Structure 1
Amino acid sequence: MTLDPYGDEELVELYDVDNPAGADHDYFRRVADAIGATKVVDLGCGTGLLTRALVAPGRVVIGIDPSPTMLNFARRQPGAEAVTWIDGDASVIASTGDVDLVVSSGNTMMHVSDDDLPSALKSCADALRTGGVITFESRNPVMRAWESWTREATYGERDTSAGHLREWVEVTEVDGGRVVFDAHNVFDDGRDAVYTTTLYFRTVEEITAALEDAGFGAITIQGGWHDEPATTDSRLLIFHATKH
Structure 2
Amino acid sequence: MPDPIFAHPRLAPIYDAFDGERDDLTTYLDIADELGASHVLDLGCGTGSLAVLLVERGFAVTGVDPAEASLEVARAKDPDGKVTWLHGDAGALPALDADLAVMTANVAQVFLTDDDWARTLRGIHAALRPGGHLAFETRRPARKAWQDWAADPAHVVLDVAGVGPVEQWREVTSVDLPLVSFRHTYRFHADGTVLTSDSTLRFRDRDEVESTLAANGFRVLEVRDAPDRPGREFVFFAERTT
The answer to whether the superposition gives a TM-score over 0.5 is: yes
Q: Does 1:112 align with 2:111?
A: yes
Preserved contact between residue 213 and residue 220 of structure 2 (Cα < 8 Å):
no
For 1:236, the equivalent position in structure 2 comes to 233
Alpha-carbon separation, structure 2, partners of 1:141 and 1:110: 11
The one-letter code sitting in structure 2 at the alignment partner of 1:221 is V
Aligned residues: 238
For 1:132, the equivalent position in structure 2 comes to 132
For 1:68, the equivalent position in structure 2 comes to 68
SS state of the match for residue 157, structure 1?
Answer: strand
User: Structure 1 residue 185: deviation in Å?
Assistant: 0.3
For 1:181, the equivalent position in structure 2 comes to 182
User: Structure 1 residue 167: deviation in Å?
Assistant: 1.6
Structure 2: 5+ residue stretches without partners: none
For 2:171, the equivalent position in structure 1 comes to 170
Aligned with residue 196 of structure 2, among 194, 197, 206: 194
Where do 1:33-72 residues align within 5 Å? Answer: 33-55=33-55, 59-72=59-72
Q: Does 1:30 align with 2:30?
A: yes
User: Structure 1 residue 207: deviation in Å?
Assistant: 0.8
Alpha-carbon separation, structure 2, partners of 1:20 and 1:158: 11
Alpha-carbon separation, structure 2, partners of 1:62 and 1:207: 24
Identity of aligned residues (%): 33
Measured against aligned partners, the alpha-carbon deviations of 1:103-145 in whole angstroms (never above 9, x if no partner) come to 1112101111223001101111111122211001111111111
Measured against aligned partners, the alpha-carbon deviations of 1:222-242 in whole angstroms (never above 9, x if no partner) come to 1223796xxxxx111111001
User: Structure 1 residue 68: deviation in Å?
Assistant: 0.5
Distance 1:149 1:94, change over 3 A: same
Preserved contact between residue 186 and residue 192 of structure 1 (Cα < 8 Å):
yes
Q: Does 1:82 align with 2:82?
A: yes
Structure 1: 5+ residue stretches without partners: 229-233
Distance 1:21 1:163, change over 3 A: closer
- Please report the RMSD computed on the Cα atoms of aligned residues, expressed in angstroms: 2.2
Preserved contact between residue 122 and residue 216 of structure 2 (Cα < 8 Å):
yes
